[in-house]
């Protein structure tokens, strides 16, 4: 049996910290969601300061970094009228400096003693060549000159993120560190049970949990800090991976599905009607899906492939296997434009096979909807393409056997789960598609329970898109190039970040851009499309562009996904510094879909920060979506990249997916091995895992990213 010491200690309310005031207890909860000892211990420092190395006053030069001095206070006085300040004259063997406090200095007066050696820590300010002062320095007493005789050994001080409200109530970084010190002291005197089994600690040479918490807040040196971080990162990633493998195990055991292996319809299309040859990658994915469909277990597969890599035809071939055995298929897209694009493509594929396909969106007319829903429930429709309208209660299937989700990160977990309830007899097979290449560490963390297939190859005959960067001064040159492309009969996208002019940000916007383009190309037919237009208007503009009735389409990012116009060979992205790297890559994927050479032109202002420069340089250098995704992960972080930060779906406390790939690999391998050998954690050596796993299941917010 596991002792209660650890859970009891971790679940203690922070009100039990000696000396903590009620207002601080309330503020920590309101501002940082810290309520228990565990919450506080897992509020890790974001940086550390090394304060042992002593600097002599004469060696300060003009430094503005915080420094440590050692010396005596020889004079102390209050200066000023109503707004007094405390000034102490501090000196070491080489020089003098003023220490100044403007507020809360009554306790400092009581603390300071003559003929006492002090260590001060603060930021030097030079008010004149030989006049040095420190504003509100930290000051501590040294018993004698020999106290710091081992001063070569670093002393690391933690720095914590805090808020203005907390700072006003003495809960700045130093105040939080003081609370951590009290808890860590208690922890060292408390018996706790490990959260990882002994064999994992031995295998990966991990320090104990007690040591990890001590040194993550108060490291003795660089090595102790490294070991504490490594231990806590491993633990965090290990339980995430364990949860993912456990979910997969449960699905394989309990989420039975129907076996589909009839290939007659697949072969009919593949041999007689397939409009082009599949790449080797596409063939491999089709084989993977076929194996999944006749296992009797629910398929849950993620298909990722760069823009234009041919995911749609793979999905359609998989649909044919299901339809041939009497199953129905649904494909859900995030926008009406993309849903219609899929519908038109599937109709062209399905026509020679006499398959019945329908399109259901929020704009579908009532009469058409009623008829469609009747056919769907009666089993007269084989495939239905739609938006989130497919989730409505009125949408019922005779036998939903397979559903495809396109650009899944645009749908919430609850929305995706909604389609699972459409079949009461068995679990439908699931194929999730994304044109946003996912870095490996992200894929392991967010989709580790899914089977993952990747299409790297592009179809034959596609020429690499040429990407160029221009500043505003080159606009006439760019417009001349557009004129040349238009004269060849090509079409052009011009993409802007805003719909209306911003008073704060001096960037090109859609409406001003439309007027500018109209003036520059008076004889050219120009369309405009943006998110504030209703679906009918957007659809009309897109159809005009697809039919080459308009030669230039001025747009916001509504064209980011799903638009397929092979004759559009040029894309100009205005104010490109305002776009994320993956977003620019997605936009670029709208061109290069035909056999002609395509061009992406990035227009920017002159003032580019370091991140913007890196994005632009990467876009010019490569069209490889996986390289781009890896760099985007480093620049933006996983939360922004996956659109998870606002949803609360990302809550890594200490691990960093951009730098901790090796630790993630170790944690994943360990978790996989345990699930394979002891899936219910019944082995005596795994009882620690059993307890911690189930504890985390009940901790609010744990594993919210998974599902």
Fold topology of 264-455: Rossmann fold (3.40.50)
Q: So what's the pLDDT on residue 170?
A: 87
pLDDT of 149 above 80 = no
CATH 3.40.50.300 residue window(s) in the chain: 264-455, 466-625
What residue has token string 């298909």?
303
Statement: residue 503 has pLDDT above 50? no
- 466-625 topology per CATH: Rossmann fold (3.40.50)
Q: What pLDDT shows up at residue 250?
A: 84
**What is the percentage of the chain residues whose pLDDT exceeds 70?**
90
Instruction: Output 635 or 584, whichever has higher pLDDT.
Output: 584
pLDDT at 647: 40
Summarize pLDDT for 671-689 with one digit per residue, the tens: 999 999 999 999 999 999 9
pLDDT tens for residues 80-111?
777 788 898 999 999 899 999 887 777 788 77
Confidence class for position 1, pLDDT limits 50, 70, 90: very low
- Residue 648 has a pLDDT of 41
Is 53-152 assigned to CATH 3.40.470.10?
no
Q: Locate all alpha helices (DSSP H) within 255-277, ordered by sequence.
A: 264-272
pLDDT at residue 649 in the model: 46
The mean pLDDT of 510-536, rounded to a whole number, is 89
Q: What is the DSSP letter of 685?
A: G
At 612, list the tokens.
């913007």
> Is 60 exceeded by the pLDDT of residue 228?
yes
Task: Give me the sheet containing 552-555, strands edge to edge.
Answer: 466-471, 599-604, 568-573, 491-495, 552-555, 526-529
Please check the confidence at residue 499 and state whether its pLDDT lies above 70.
no
**pLDDT for res 700:** 56
Instruction: Tell me what pLDDT residue 108 has.
Output: 80
pLDDT at 645: 47
Structure confidence by residue, pLDDT tens digits, 289-337: 999 998 888 898 999 988 778 899 999 999 999 999 999 999 999 888 8
Residue 217 has pLDDT above 70, yes or no: yes
Question: Which stretch of DSSP H or E encloses residue 97?
Answer: strand 96-101
**Cα separation, 521 vs 524, whole angstroms:** 5
- Average pLDDT in the 176-195 region? 92
pLDDT for residue 278 is more than 90? yes
Query: DSSP secondary structure string, 325-384?
Result: TT-EEEEE-SSHHHHHHHHHHHHHHHGGGT--EEEE-TT--HHHHHHHHHHHHHT--SEE
Outline which parts of the chain fall under CATH 2.40.50.140: 53-152
pLDDT at 701: 55
Residue 374 has pLDDT above 60, yes or no: yes
Res 346: pLDDT: 94
H helix runs in 366-456, sequence order: 366-378, 413-420, 440-446
* DSSP 8-state code for residue 409: G
Please classify residue 460 by burial: count the beta carbons closer than 10 Å to its beta carbon, then call 0-12 exposed, 13-18 middle and 19+ buried. Answer: exposed
**Whether 497 contacts 509, CB under 8 Å:** yes
pLDDT level of residue 154 (50, 70, 90 thresholds)? very low
CB-based contacts of 67: which residues, under 8 Å, 6+ apart?
55, 60, 121, 122, 123, 124
Number of helices followed by number of strands (H, E) in the chain: 25, 22
What is the predicted pLDDT for the residue at 412? 54
């Amino acid at each position: 049996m596991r002792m209660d010491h650890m859970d009891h200690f971790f679940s203690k309310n922070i009100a039990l910290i000696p000396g903590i005031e009620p207002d601080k207890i309330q503020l920590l909860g309101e501002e940082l969601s810290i309520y228990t000892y565990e919450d506080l211990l897992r509020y890790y420092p974001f940086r550390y300061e090394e304060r042992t190395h002593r600097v002599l006053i004469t060696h300060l030069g003009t430094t503005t970094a915080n420094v440590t001095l050692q010396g005596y206070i020889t004079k102390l006085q209050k200066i000023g009228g109503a707004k007094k300040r405390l000034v102490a004259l501090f000196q070491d063997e080489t020089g003098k400096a003023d220490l100044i406090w403007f507020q809360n200095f009554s306790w400092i007066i009581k603390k300071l003693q003559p003929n006492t050696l002090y260590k001060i820590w603060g930021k030097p300010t030079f008010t004149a060549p030989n006049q040095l002062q420190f504003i509100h320095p930290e000051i501590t007493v040294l018993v004698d000159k020999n106290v710091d005789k081992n001063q070569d050994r670093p002393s690391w001080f933690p720095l914590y993120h805090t808020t203005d409200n907390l700072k006003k109530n003495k809960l700045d970084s130093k105040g939080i560190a003081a609370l951590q010190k009290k808890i860590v002291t208690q922890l060292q005197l408390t018996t706790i049970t490990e959260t990882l089994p002994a064999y994992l600690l031995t295998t990966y040479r991990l320090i104990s949990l007690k040591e990890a918490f001590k040194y993550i807040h108060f490291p003795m040196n660089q090595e102790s800090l490294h070991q504490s971080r490594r231990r806590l990162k491993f633990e965090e990633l290990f339980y995430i991976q364990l949860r993912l493998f456990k979910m997969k195990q449960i699905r394989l055991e309990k989420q039975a599905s129907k076996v589909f292996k009839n290939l007659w319809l697949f072969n009919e299309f593949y041999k007689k009607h397939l409009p082009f040859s599949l790449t080797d990658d596409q063939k491999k994915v089709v084989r993977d899906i076929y194996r999944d469909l006749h296992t009797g277990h629910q398929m849950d597969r993620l298909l990722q492939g760069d823009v234009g890599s041919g995911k749609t035809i793979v999905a359609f071939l998989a649909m044919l296997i299901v339809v041939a055995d009497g199953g129905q298929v649904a494909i859900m897209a995030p926008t009406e434009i993309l849903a219609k694009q899929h519908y038109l493509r599937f109709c062209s594929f399905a026509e020679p096979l006499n398959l019945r396909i329908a399109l259901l969106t929020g704009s579908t007319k009532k009469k058409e909807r009623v008829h469609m829903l009747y056919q769907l429930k009666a089993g007269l429709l084989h495939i239905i393409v739609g938006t989130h309208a497919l989730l409505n209660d009125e949408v019922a299937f005779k036998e939903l056997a397979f559903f495809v989700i396109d650009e899944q990160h645009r749908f919430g977990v609850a929305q995706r789960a909604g389609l699972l309830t459409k079949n009461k007899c068995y679990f439908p097979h699931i194929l999730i598609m994304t044109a946003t290449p996912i870095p490996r560490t992200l894929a392991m963390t967010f989709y580790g329970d899914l089977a993952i297939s990747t299409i790297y190859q592009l179809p034959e005959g596609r020429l690499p898109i040429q990407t160029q960067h221009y500043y505003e001064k080159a606009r006439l040159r760019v417009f001349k190039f557009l004129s040349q492309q238009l004269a060849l009969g090509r079409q052009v996208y011009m993409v802007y970040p805003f719909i209306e002019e911003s008073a704060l940000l001096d960037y090109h916007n859609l409406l001003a851009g439309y007027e500018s383009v109209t003036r520059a190309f008076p004889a050219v037919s120009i369309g405009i499309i943006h998110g504030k237009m209703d679906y009918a208007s957007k659809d009309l503009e897109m159809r005009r562009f697809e039919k080459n009735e308009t030669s230039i389409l001025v747009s916001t990012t509504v064209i980011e996904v799903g638009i397929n116009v092979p004759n559009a060979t040029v894309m100009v992205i205005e104010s490109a510094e305002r776009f994320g790297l993956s977003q620019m890559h997605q936009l670029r994927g709208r061109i290069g879909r035909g056999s002609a050479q395509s061009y992406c032109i990035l227009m920017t202002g002159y003032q580019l920060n370091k991140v913007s420069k890196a994005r632009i340089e990467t876009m010019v250098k490569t069209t490889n979506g996986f390289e781009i995704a890896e760099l985007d992960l480093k620049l933006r972080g996983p939360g922004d990249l996956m659109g998870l930060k606002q949803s609360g779906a990302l809550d890594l406390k200490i691990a960093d997916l951009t730098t901790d790939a090796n630790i993630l690999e170790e944690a994943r391998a360990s978790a996989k091995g345990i699930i394979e050998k002891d899936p219910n954690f019944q082995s005596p050596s795994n009882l620690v895992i059993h307890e911690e796993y189930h504890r985390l299941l009940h901790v609010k917010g744990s594993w919210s990213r998974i599902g």
